[in-house]
Amino acid sequence: MKELIVATKNEGKVREFRQLFSEYGIAVKSLLDFDEPIEDIEETGTTFAENATIKAEAISEAYNTPVIADDSGLVVDALGGEPGVYSARYAGEEKNDQKNLEKVMKKLEGVPVNERTARFVCAIAVARPGFETFVKEGCCEGSIAVEPQGQHGFGYDPIFIPESSERTMAEHTSEEKNSISHRHHAILQLEEWLKNQS
Ligand SMILES: O=P(O)(O)OP(=O)(O)OP(=O)(O)OC[C@H]1O[C@@H](n2cnc3c(O)ncnc32)[C@H](O)[C@@H]1O
Ligand SMILES: [Mg+2]
């Protein structure tokens, strides 16, 4: 089976990429699978696309091989687009999922249901030695719940209700999430390229 490197240290993302790429006969090697520890890559971009490019190119250049990276996050309209590209470190550099979602809930206290619209965004960059990097984006529209619910998924899933549903993303099975998620929609746009890889 063809293997692709996904330049992430996020176990939740790795699980989803494994499941989503298995449809294309592609195995996933993440930064957690390297023998040597990989230093954190500074995400200095101002957009998801820029940060995905930074991560993919850093690892592609270091190992002289094709690399995919995912930069993603939650965009809340009532918060002017926050946490956005700061989603991972919204409540501090320790990158704590629970604290991050509690910060969003606190900031949205008293905001009525119809003003709690939000979306998950995912940018996937493909970097290859000798080629121009390209980026595809996917998004999943929805709203922020009044209470966190559910145990599946990761990150902000317990507080995000996709617009096609009345349950939070964390109350969806991984199969259900992978059929509607921002990551799924970004990967759909990579389909042609992925089919040529396996
Ligand atoms: O940079 P890498 O190593 O890939 O891992 P990361 O966790 O730092 O990833 P990002 O920089 O892309 O930050 C993404 C943030 O958005 C959250 N997020 C991304 N996709 C999500 C999803 O499918 N469900 C819930 N939260 C998600 C995630 O928990 C992080 O807090
Ligand atoms: Mg990150």
Looking up residue 146, the CATH number of its domain turns out to be: 3.90.950.10
Nearest ligand to residue 122 Cα? 1
The response to whether residue 82 sits with its C-beta less than 6 Å from ligand 1 reads no
70 is in an annotated binding site: no
8 is in an annotated binding site: yes
The response to whether residue 168 sits with its C-beta less than 6 Å from ligand 1 reads no
Ligand 1 atom nearest to 55, measured from its CA: 1
Domain holding 91, by residue range, is: 2-195
* pTM for the model: 0.97
Closest CA to 178 of 188, 192, 193: 188
For the stretch 49-108, pLDDT in tens is 999 999 999 999 999 999 999 999 999 999 999 999 999 999 998 999 999 999 999 999
Residue nearest to atom 13 of ligand 1 (CA): 88
The response to whether residue 90 sits with its C-beta less than 6 Å from ligand 1 reads no
Question: With 80 as the cut, is the pLDDT of residue 198 above it?
Answer: no
Banded model confidence at residue 197, pLDDT cuts 50, 70, 90? confident
> Total domain count for the chain?
1
Backbone phi, psi, residue 139, to 5°: -145, 155
Q: How far is CA 194 from CA 3, 31, 84, 92, 189, in A?
A: 11, 20, 27, 35, 9
